[in-house]
Structure formats: C-alpha cells, structure tokens
Amino acid sequence: DQQVKQNSPSLSVQEGRISILNCDYTNSMFDYFLWYKKYPAEGPTFLISISSIKDKNEDGRFTVFLNKSAKHLSLHIVPSQPGDSAVYFCAASAQGGTSYGKLTFGQGTILTVHP
C-alpha cells in the first residue's frame, strides 16, 4: 500500500525555467510533509517542509504548496539551476501514536535541469 505517491519518475527542465514536482498521499492522518533531495552516492538531504495548518511555505527558490482536500502537494523550484539535478523525494509524517517522527516516502522523481 503506497501511501505517498510520486507519479512522475522523471522530469526534464531547461535552466531558468520552473520545475514542478508533484506528490499525492492517501493517509488522512498525515499532517506534516517534507521534501528531500538526493544526489548519487549520498543520503537524502532535507529541503523544505510544510505543516498541514499551512497551504504554502517558501524558502528562497523553493516553494511547497499543500492542497489538503486533494491530498496533494507540490514543490516549485524557480528558477531551476543545473545543480538542482537530483532525485527528489516527498515524505509525510503523522503526529501522535507510536509512529511519531517516522517518515513515509514516495518513490522519488529524477529532476534533470539542462543548461
């Protein structure tokens, strides 16, 4: 049962344009969402997060949007740079219970930004 889904395995974007990565979730108990970036031969690194009480969070070139009714979130990167080329994972967390702090990850989207 894939509770967090990233339906696009890959995305190719021109440098300077916007990159939009999408993520859907099914578990209504999720209330905190994060994006991680992963380069080859390295572990994932935290990028940006959003709580379910917000619908938008911005950090420099990165903005995450959350649509709770649609159980959908997206990561916007503007402008995209070649160094942004990596695998992007969406992750979700549910507060409370025994799984406090545990993250459920999507399958990842490979972003390639062409110069």
Partner 1 sequence: DSGVTQTPKHLITATGQRVTLRCSPRSGDLSVYWYQQSLDQGLQFLIQYYNGEERAKGNILERFSAQQFPDLHSELNLSSLELGDSALYFCASSVDLIPSSPLHFGNGTRLTVT
**Least spacing, CB of residue 66 vs partner 1, in Å:** 14
What minimum distance in Å lies between the beta carbon of 93 and partner 1? Answer: 4
Residues lying near partner 1 in the complex (CB under 8 A): 4, 6, 31-32, 34, 36, 41-46, 49, 51, 89, 93, 95, 98-108
Smallest distance from the beta carbon of 68 to partner 1, in angstroms? Answer: 16
Q: CA triplet 82, 8, 113: central angle to 5 degrees?
A: 10
Task: Using the minimum distance from each CB to partner 1, give the nearer residue, 2 or 12.
Answer: 2
Contact 48, 59 (CB under 8 A): yes
**CB-wise, 19 or 93, nearer to partner 1?**
93
| Sign of the dihedral defined by the CA atoms of residues 41, 45, 47, 51, in that order | positive
Residue (32 or 65) nearer to partner 1, CB: 32
Q: 10 Cβ partners below 8 Å, 6+ apart?
A: 109, 110, 111, 112
Decide whether 28 or 99 has the Cβ nearer to partner 1.
99
Q: Which phi and psi (to 5°) does residue 69 adopt?
A: -65, -35
